[in-house]
């Protein structure tokens, strides 16, 4: 009924650009930047539960 699929991470080489993330939550958008070759230098969030993840 259900077919299990394994997802592969797609990463690219660094493009030399860096980003900072405000109110980043659990980091989903940051992960997109990393997969696109950016280097996330700094991230924060006010929600303590999101920061722990």
As for how many domains the chain has, the answer is 1
pLDDT at site 18: 92
pLDDT digits (tens, 9 = 90+) for 1-53: 667 777 666 666 788 899 998 888 888 888 888 888 889 998 888 888 887 87
No. of helices (H) and no. of strands (E), the chain: 2, 2
Q: Is residue 1 part of a domain?
A: no
Q: Is residue 10 part of a domain?
A: no
Q: Is residue 7 part of a domain?
A: no
Half-sphere exposure of 12 (CA within 13 A, CB side): 13
| Contact of 12 with 38, CB cutoff 8 Å | no
Q: Is residue 3 part of a domain?
A: no
Q: Is residue 9 part of a domain?
A: no
pLDDT at site 14: 83
Domain that holds residue 27: 18-52
pLDDT at site 7: 62
pLDDT at site 19: 92
Positive or negative, the CA dihedral 44, 46, 52, 53 is negative
């Amino acid at each position: 009924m259900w077919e299990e699929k394994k997802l592969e991470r797609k990463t690219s080489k660094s493009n030399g650009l860096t980003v900072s993330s405000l109110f980043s939550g659990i980091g989903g958008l940051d992960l997109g930047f990393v997969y696109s070759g950016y280097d996330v230098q700094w991230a924060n969030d006010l929600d303590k539960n999101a920061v722990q993840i």
